[in-house]
Structure 1
Amino acid sequence: MARVAFFALLCAQAAFGLTISKRATAYFNPTANGGSLLNNAGNGLGEPLNVIVSGLSSPDVLTDDGILNFARSIGFSEECFGIHLGDPQSANLGDGNGAVNQTIELRQDFGDPSVGTCLESLIGGNHFRVYRQNGPQANSGALFLAVSHEEDVSENHTISPDGYDVGRNELVAAAVGNTNFNGVSYSTTAQDITGLIAPGTNGVNHDIAQDGIVTLLTVTIV
């Protein structure tokens, strides 16, 4: 029966030009197809995409609602009253979509998903932007995150010294292991990857050095 179903699927593919694809990779290297591990901050410089949520994560995690719920399980939520100051930043993930604006920006909520991000806007803290790799040339479904720790409102929310590495490390520390929110439980593992982005300040916004490490998170709903 399985062979018959598989043969029928192949016939349908041939007859109707269907493309059968299955996500079976953690991510594609954006630089292999003209992309970058730096987003576009709008001034010729960019912020490092220093965390990747693997395309091998549970599929529900990789949706818009799914990444929001996971983020809430590790201490992040939507911006204060949904108000965003500043223009969105774009990224080219080498997937054939070109430069695409961030899907969402989430901020540290200090334990209160409802209004905690308002506190982050005042005193500073961690935040990240989300970009999805889903174009026709590299459809991993992975989410690339630009994570950074920022100063308080009196410093105009500029990135903290060493804020890219600090922001990444804080997010990863909160994510690894078991977390839950709204009845959904997650188990997350992490792997540090080098070679995707060169360490240093070349092309990096605010001239803040980063260590060249990108952390791959695999998030499984349990």
Structure 2
Amino acid sequence: MLSYKLAVLCLSASVLIATNALGAVFDKRAAAFFDPVLGGGSMFIDAGNGLGEPLNVIISGLSSPDVLTLDGVTNFARAIGFSQECLDIHLGNPFSANLGDGHGAVNQSVELRQDFGDPALGTCLESLIGGNHFRVFFQNGPTADSGAVFLAVSKEEDLEENHTIVPDGYDIGRNLLVESALGTTSFSGVTYSTTAQNITGLMPAGSAGVNHGIAVDGIVTLLTVNIV
């Protein structure tokens, strides 16, 4: 069972996802998000080895518009305990995702790491001892421009373990991020109010095709983030 700071309402994906037929052009910002699979995409990012990692959190396209930009997501991330990578240094290749929006496979926009309360240097500690982190992708293509932000969240091991994902790390990472986001948070003079809904049916449960052979529970959490 998930334990969040606020009650989380579980809804079927069919209630939240536009059911437009394949090939249709979706109305801009007409929904919280569009199911990538309907546009030929996937709810798993490409890890570069034939396997995928889950897009297990979505920031709704119905959130405040200022949240749905690279700078906006980064500031929100800082409000919930994440920051840019240590000294802006990224090791390893970027991962890509196809969000079914007409752009095809697109590399992550940014990778953000747990900062342990220090937005300036805390991610250097995460790089050493491990912690939570996520990759950011925007659904803003010509055929499905919801404006939603898809996050691939996971908790990883320390540097000695080469930052591999901890056991059950995809579900754990999602839960930790959601718990830190719910309710009222703030950073750099911006205050956010965040609610969450759990969605089933967007991705399969289990470990088939999942990077590191780590099973996922098939739940995607939708966050609606409003600036107050």
Shared fold (TM-score, shorter chain, > 0.5): yes
Q: Distance in 2 between matches of 1:51 and 1:147?
A: 7
Match of 2:151 in 1: 145
Counterpart residue number, 1:29 = 35
Q: Is the 8 A contact 2:154 2:165 kept in 1?
A: yes
Q: Any residues of structure 2 matched to 1:47-196 within 5 Å, and which? A: 47-196=53-202
Instruction: Please identify the structure whose Cα radius of gyration is greater.
Output: 1
Within the alignment, does 1:200 sit opposite 2:198 as a pair? Answer: no
Cα distance, 1:24 vs structure 2? 2.2
Measured in 1, the distance between the counterparts of 2:29 and 2:163 equals: 37
TM-score, length of structure 2 as denominator length: 0.88
Query: Residues 109-148 of structure 1: CA distance to partner in whole angstroms, max 9, x if unpaired?
Result: 0000000000000000000000000011100010000000
TM-score between the two structures when normalised by the length of structure 1: 0.90
Q: Secondary structure at the match of 1:39?
A: strand
Give the deviation of 1:219 after TM superposition: 0.1
In terms of fraction of residues, the more helix-rich structure is: 1
* Secondary structure of 1:47's aligned partner: strand
Is the 8 Å Cα contact of residues 28 and 145 (structure 2) preserved in structure 1? no
Cα separation, 2, equivalents of 1:33 and 1:23 = 16
Sequence identity percentage: 74
Q: 2: CA distance between counterparts of 1:135 and 1:145?
A: 17
* Over 6 Å off, 4+ runs: none
Unaligned stretches of 5+ residues in structure 1: 1-20
Bigger proportion of residues as strand: 2
Structure 2, gaps ≥5 residues long: 1-26
